[in-house]
Structure 1
Amino acid sequence: MPKAKTRADGLVERCRVINGKKRHFYGKTLKEVQAKIDAAIVEAAVCKEKGEPFIDVADAFWTKKEPTIRYGSRRGYYHKVEVAKEWFGGYGMREVTTTDINRQLMQMAAQGYAYKSIAGQKSVLSLIWQYWCAEMRGDCNPCTLLKLPQGLPQKKRRAPTDAEVSDVKAHTEGFGLCPAFMMYAGLRLGEVMGLQKKDLAGGEINVCKQVVWHNNHPEIEELKTDNAYRRVPILKPLQAALAGRLDGLPDEAFIFGGERPYTKSSYQNAWLQYCQDIGRAHDSGKRYKTGKKSKDGKVLYKTVMEPDFTAHQLRHEFASTLVQCQITPQVAKELMGHADILTTQRWYAEAKASAVDEATAILNAHFGS
């Protein structure tokens, strides 16, 4: 056993190797130092049996992971890490079993969470255990053989109605150019906000960047995947909507914003105003105080209006149109900027009412012959 030595500051020091790591212990007396060594040995034995505390591993994982996550995804990741800490914060890594995790996911399902939310929570849990195995010499991952609960609801994005689509097509003036880019080119909102005049040339849209709002402020960022970088043809309806609109605009200017892209609030206000102008907004049921009072002293409130549909639903419409026009899956994948055509089919593309009517007529003719 190494001998104790007295330091210049009067403290007694002793070194011990515990679980393969050399550690230094200090105290005013040899008895105090030995007590610290004994406590560390017990703690190491417990840690070896139960694994490092889950909460410590989760914090270490997040410290390393956070800088690698895009701003727009960071909040969602952080929330899932915090949920995991609430579930298993009092356990060691080896104490948590597949059954424990499945029980928590089943509770999420019982509370009405959809497939994507539960799958995302499972994914983050698995990443925490992967980090433990790779960085802290862990030796198991209870998520490996875990299956998600059966029958989870999978919410699809609603396509705009035929009436909504007609209204958008009829109103491409002013801010209507923004929804036209989704309707006729299938661009994401961030991609539209990042468009500069120079990105429209030779009859094509060069999709090469996106705007991500950091709180309210626009920041230009790279696209999420290599497949998102693409060239999309400017179809005739979009050509008509663009006619003369960009004349006199500098090549570096953003189509929506000018020298800088729209802030988040500027976009939201413009979108709501557009939807109101075309008769596609509704009373949300929410109210806020105006800061004024009526003549009889009552507080006055203002109605909060909401758009009937979002810009992203028009990207959905573009995908549905690709399917209806029998564009091949590979070409559709390229136009939408997806890494996998299954993403397009699963979350966007669905049969339109007119296509169902057409199929009905064809089938009736077949069976009636």
Structure 2
Amino acid sequence: MGQRKRRADGLLEKKRTINGKVMHFYGHTVAEIEAKIDAYKAELAEKETKGERFEVVYDAWMELRRTQVKPSTLYCSASACAHTRAEWEGYRMKEITPTRIAAWYQCLGDQGYAKGTVRNHNDVLSSVFKHWIVYFGGDFNPCPYVDVPRNLKMKVRTPPTDEQLAAVKAHPEDFGFVAWLLMYTGIRLGEAMALQWQDVDFGTGFIHVTKSVWWDNGRPVVTTPKTKNAIRDVPILNVLRPLLQERQGAPTDYVCSGRATPLTASEYRNKWGVYWRKLGYYHSDGSGSWDADVSAHQFRHGMASVLYEAGVGEMEAQRILGHASITTTHEIYTHLRQAQLSAATDRLNAFLANGSQVV
């Protein structure tokens, strides 16, 4: 029998040993305390058969994750993390079955999420289950048994148009220098912002990509790239070399800002927007401000197209672009092959429609 005593604050306290653990329960009446004891026992029994509540495991996983990954990675995955917690809050771990997960993935697709975004949600959910197994004694991760639906749309990032590329090639002045840098290297925006002149090795003919900038509330923070493959050497193409040499500054100056500190987020957006507005490629965002029609990331995909058209193999393209996985490079190349095939089909149909015959 548990001991019951009246505390100084007027509450009754009852001590009970449950599963070898001494527990203290408080209440205004004996009935209230007994109800709390029954609820605690029921919670233990349900946890034994169905596992911990998802939000408990998720919160523990996130607390650990904040100490293990870069703030920029946390920022990029914030949306998928928030959606995952909201979806499964209230479930117990063993209630989250492959069937329920598959239905969730399809629901995300029906809401317009692309296949890559659904994969991000899958990665988050799978990581939470791994945490449950390691730190809570869980026994099963259902995520590997669920495929992302095949019918989901692919988010296709398109390179700049031929007209936009021609405009950039004709205008390397001012912030066009940054557009040229992106166009002829394929490096990421954050990598470009972190480049210093000491990273541009004219002797060997390579740009050494070893760091990246991410903006914390608009302020630049220089950090290492998030994957080891992002640390790489990118060739200085002959078409870009004269422009780099013309702009060359002090070794520790940043290439894009021309000073000892990287550009802030607002400085970059303003300079990028002004440049594209001068070229005539801009649009209103509805609030009176103007946005460029072309993003920095589009030049990265433009470089992937150039590598493909030049016959550069997937392994070499992966190293130049710094993809973490060859799968990413392969998917881009596959998309380009399909686009070329589609264009060839259109040309053939047009040729035959003009009255030509195959002999």
The alignment's TM-score, normalised by the length of structure 1, stands at 0.82
1:68 maps to 68
Classify the secondary structure of the residue corresponding to 2:251. coil
Q: How far 1:12 moved relative to its partner? A: 5.8
Contact 1:160 1:317 survives alignment (8 Å): yes
For the 8 Å contact 2:6–2:13, the answer to whether it is kept is: yes
- Corresponding residue SS for 2:158: coil
Structure-to-structure mapping, 1:195-214, within 5 angstroms: 195-201=195-201, 202=203, 203-214=205-216
1:216 aligns to what?
A: 218
Deviations 1:51-94 (A, max 9, x none): 22222222222111223232223134333333233222222222
CA distance in 2, matches of 1:78, 1:308: 26
Counterpart position of 2:354: none
Over residues 209-268 of structure 1, what are the superposed CA-to-partner deviations in whole Å (9 max), with x where a residue is unaligned? Answer: 11111120000010122221112221111112223222xx32111122211100011001
Aligned residue pairs: how many?
342
Change (3 A) 1:161 1:39: closer
Who is 1:171 aligned against? 171
SS at match of 1:306: strand
Mapped partners of 2:321, 2:94: distance in 1: 43
Distance of 2:13 and 2:290 partners within structure 1: 71
Matched, 1:146 2:132: no
Is the partner of 1:287 in helix, strand or coil?
A: coil
My pick for the range that moved more, 27-36 or 157-166, is 27-36
CA–CA separation in structure 1 for the residues paired with 2:15 and 2:194: 61
Letter in 1 for 2:313: T
Consecutive unaligned residues in structure 1, runs of 5 or more: 289-303
> 2-side partners of 1:206 and 1:144: how far apart?
37
Query: Which of 326, 331, 341 matches 1:346?
Result: 331
1:242 aligns with 2:244: yes
Q: Distance in 1 between matches of 2:27 and 2:230?
A: 63
| Equivalent runs, 1:1-369 vs 2, <5 Å | 4=3, 14=15, 16-18=17-19, 22-25=21-24, 27=26, 36-201=36-201, 202=203, 203-246=205-248, 249-257=249-257, 258-281=259-282, 283-284=283-284, 286-288=286-288, 304-347=289-332, 350=336
Q: Which residue of 2 aligns with 1:298?
A: none
Q: Is the 8 A contact 1:204 1:232 kept in 2?
A: yes
CA contact (8 A) 2:158 2:302 kept: no
- The answer to whether the 8 A contact 1:322-1:332 is kept is yes
TM-score between the two structures when normalised by the length of structure 2? 0.84
**C-alpha distance in structure 1 between counterparts of 2:240 and 2:330, whole Å:** 24
1: CA distance, partners of 2:69 / 2:190: 17
Contact 2:285 2:291 in 1 (8 A): no
Q: Could you tell me how far 1:36 is from its partner in structure 2?
A: 4.8
- SS at the partner of 1:219? strand
Residue identity (%): 32
Q: Aligned equivalents of 1:156 and 1:111: distance in 2?
A: 17
Cα distance in 2 between the residues matched to 1:100 and 1:251: 56
Q: Given that residues 25 and 36 in structure 1 are in contact (C-alpha distance below 8 angstroms), is that contact kept between their aligned partners in structure 2?
A: no
User: How far, CA to CA, are the matches of 1:74 and 1:106 in structure 2?
Assistant: 25
Q: Is the 8 A contact 1:211 1:220 kept in 2?
A: yes
Structure 2 SS opposite 1:183: helix
